[in-house]
Amino acid sequence: MDLKALLGDAYKEGMTFEEIEAALKDVQPPEDPAGAAEISRLKTALSKANGEAADYKKQLRGKQTEAEQEAAARQEALAKLEAENAELKRASAISAHKAKLLALGYDEKLAESTAEALADGKVDAILDAQKTLLEAQKKAVLAEKLRQTPRGPSGGTPSGEDFQKQIQDAQARGDYAAAAYYTRLAGSEIQSES
């Protein structure tokens, strides 16, 4: 089992040891013992790697001059600020995208997931969300049309409709299917009146 499959959505390219460790804390071990053993093995390996990295840092700092140590500290601080800046930009982009999507008629949950997909450049997820929105809108339009459709009296056709005139008009146009349809309607109206 690789790290990407284990972490799922929490996985990002170029994750630091600390980010991996934090992501692994949220992972629930699978039911099967092999998966649990794999997670345990990965956590142990990560802890060992973190310890070794800390040791190497101490050794490096011991060998560096004071100016080199200050430069390394500045470089680390700069890298941390750049990572924070990138995360803030992503959060800001997600927020802006979400607001626009809500204005377009997306529901809250769909807008959130689509905004994240936009920020991450996941085109397939964006297209799936668009498909979901269009289907929901079609259903809403159909429901509204059905709601606004006038209802005739129960069990029959709207009263006062002149089927004989519609039959004659259809025959005059040569539309015999429509003429047959209106003939059936006229017959059902006569039966419902008796």
The pLDDT value given to residue 71: 84
Please give, one letter per residue, the 3-state secondary structure of 79-116: HHHHHHHHHHHHHHHHHHHHHHHHHCCCCHHHHHHHHH
Would you list the DSSP string of the chain?
Answer: --HHHHHGGG--TT--HHHHHHHHHHPPPPSSHHHHHHHHHHHHHHHHHHHHHHHHHHHHHHHS-HHHHHHHHHHHHHHHHHHHHHHHHHHHHHHHHHHHHHHTT--HHHHHHHHHHHHHT-HHHHHHHHHHHHHHHHHHHHHHHHHHSPP-STTSPPTT--HHHHHHHHHHHT-HHHHHHHHHHHHHHHHHH-
pLDDT confidence band for 83 (50 / 70 / 90): very high
- Per-residue pLDDT, averaged over 172-189, amounts to 84
Which pLDDT score is estimated for 128?
92
Q: Which of 60-69, 92-101, 104-113 has the lowest mean pLDDT?
A: 60-69
Residue bearing the bigger pLDDT, 173 or 17: 173
Mean pLDDT throughout 149-174? 72
Residue 139 scores a pLDDT above 70: yes
As a whole number, mean pLDDT of residues 141-146 equals 86
pLDDT cut 90: percent of the chain above it: 20
Q: What is the pTM of this model?
A: 0.41
Model pLDDT, residue 69: 74
**pLDDT for residue 100 is more than 80:** yes
The predicted structure's pLDDT at residue 192: 58
Percent of the chain with pLDDT over 70: 82
- Mean per-residue pLDDT over the chain, rounded: 81
- 11-69 residue pLDDT tens: 777 777 777 777 777 666 555 566 677 778 888 888 888 888 888 887 777 777 777 77
Provide the pLDDT for residue 153: 52
Average pLDDT over residues 159-179: 83
